[in-house]
């Protein structure tokens, strides 16, 4: 019996040593450091998330999921903490909802099978919104960057900070949330948007410093795609370019996404549940499973696809990707 107890103790110590080694490796990889009183709390959360990821990936190997999870840079956060820090509470007041015209997209009799606007110069590198609920601004600039390139053949990184600081009259709340539609309305009303270089990102609300003489891109209006229609979204992405979309990103599976085609049964497609603005830059299929290629704004280190995520396509509008989609007219 003493031998058995000793063996169990040795096994436990070895397991703890391995876990601590992985914890330290993860901290080094993501440049994490904590105050002494915070370290244990973060490690315990990280270990809990590690168990979630390990179990999910075991089930993935068994064919039960279409995507993997990973110990991303957000693995030291509880899911509710993460949602508060990185997702946006979309403004409830939709008095400006009809800023974009409703339009049926019918560019193709038969849509292209695969589209990836990254390969055609329409998409800037993945950006990082940091701890600011400004995803809506990144979604808006991404779509306008694509349409500006389509017209001028010049890819210019546009200023999210200008939208954060200046589009409050249209209803946006800076780091507190907003809508790409309202960002498009603001850009149209003031005569344009500056470049990222001229008006750099700060990840906080600041005083509006827009200089119309430094405009880098303009638009003349915007289009709201037929709500809840992935067919219409496909026509828009396939024929026009990157499209701004809002999704439900509130689940631990999204926080810790790794690779593969993301399908979350608990996702909602209700407008009230949409909490993250992203950019649909294409679509395709892996082994017969269709996906949307989506650009996120959490840096290239999120997930294993360089800051992108493949989201399930034609799966009953999973996570609401087609619920509120729009793009600018240039």
Tokens of 168: 């409050």
C-alpha 193/C-alpha 210 separation (Å) is: 8
CA distance 182 to 274: 16
On whether the CB atoms of residues 179 and 328 are closer than 8 A, the answer is no
Q: CA-CA distance, 162 to 43, in Å (whole number)?
A: 37
Torsion over CA of 127, 129, 134 and 136, rounded to 10 degrees? 30
Annotated active-site residue 28? The verdict is no
The rounded Cα 245 to chain-centroid distance in angstroms is: 9
Among the listed residues 56, 65, 148, 276, the single catalytic one is: 276
Closest CA to 238 of 74, 115, 153: 115
Could you say which of 296, 317, 318, 319 is catalytic?
Answer: 296
Rounded CA gap, 186 and 193, in Å? Answer: 9
The span from the CA of 191 to the CA of 313, in Å, is 36
Catalytic residue, candidates 100, 132, 135, 319: 135
What does each C-alpha distance from 228 to 93, 118, 246, 260, 271 come to in angstroms?
21, 25, 11, 23, 10
Element (H, E) at 181: helix 180-190
The set of residues, in sequence order, having a beta carbon less than 8 Å from that of 223 and lying 6+ positions away, is 100, 101, 102, 103, 105, 236, 326, 327, 329
Is 135 catalytic? The answer is yes
Active site residue 208: no
- CB 116 within 8 Å of CB 291: no
Dist. CA 255–CA 74, nearest whole Å = 7
Residues labelled as active-site residues? 135, 276, 296
């Amino acid at each position: 019996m003493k031998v058995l107890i000793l063996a169990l103790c040795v096994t436990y110590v070895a397991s703890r040593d391995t876990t601590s080694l992985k914890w330290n490796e993860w901290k080094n990889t993501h440049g994490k450091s904590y105050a002494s009183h915070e370290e244990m709390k973060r490690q315990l959360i990280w270990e809990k998330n590690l168990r979630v990821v390990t179990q999910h990936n075991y089930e993935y190997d068994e064919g039960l999921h279409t995507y993997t999870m990973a110990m991303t840079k957000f693995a030291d956060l509880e899911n509710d903490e993460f949602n508060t820090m990185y997702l946006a509470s979309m403004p409830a007041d939709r008095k400006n909802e009809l800023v974009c015209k409703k339009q049926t997209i019918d560019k193709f009799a038969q849509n292209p099978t695969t589209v990836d606007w990254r390969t055609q110069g329409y998409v800037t590198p993945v950006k990082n919104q940091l701890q600011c609920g400004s995803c809506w601004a990144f979604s808006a600039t991404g779509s306008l960057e694509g349409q500006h390139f389509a017209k001028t053949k010049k890819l210019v990184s546009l200023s999210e900070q200008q939208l954060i600081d200046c589009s409050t009259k249209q209803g946006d709340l800076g780091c507190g949330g907003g809508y790409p539609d309202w960002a498009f309305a603001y850009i149209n009303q003031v005569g344009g948007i500056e470049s990222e270089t001229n008006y750099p990102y700060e990840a906080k609300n600041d005083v509006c410093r827009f200089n119309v003489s430094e405009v880098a891109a303009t638009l003349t209006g915007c289009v709201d795609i037929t709500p809840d229609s992935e067919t219409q979204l496909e026509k828009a992405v396939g024929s026009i370019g990157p499209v701004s979309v809002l999704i439900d990103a509130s689940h631990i599976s999204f926080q810790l996404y790794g690779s593969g085609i993301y399908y979350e049964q608990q996702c909602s497609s209700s407008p009230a549940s949409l909490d993250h603005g992203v950019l649909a830059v294409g679509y395709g299929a892996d082994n017969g499973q269709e996906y949307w290629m989506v650009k996120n704004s959490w840096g290239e280190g999120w997930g294993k696809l360089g800051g992108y995520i493949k989201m399930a396509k034609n799966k009953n509008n999973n996570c609401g990707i087609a619920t509120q989609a729009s793009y600018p007219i240039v």
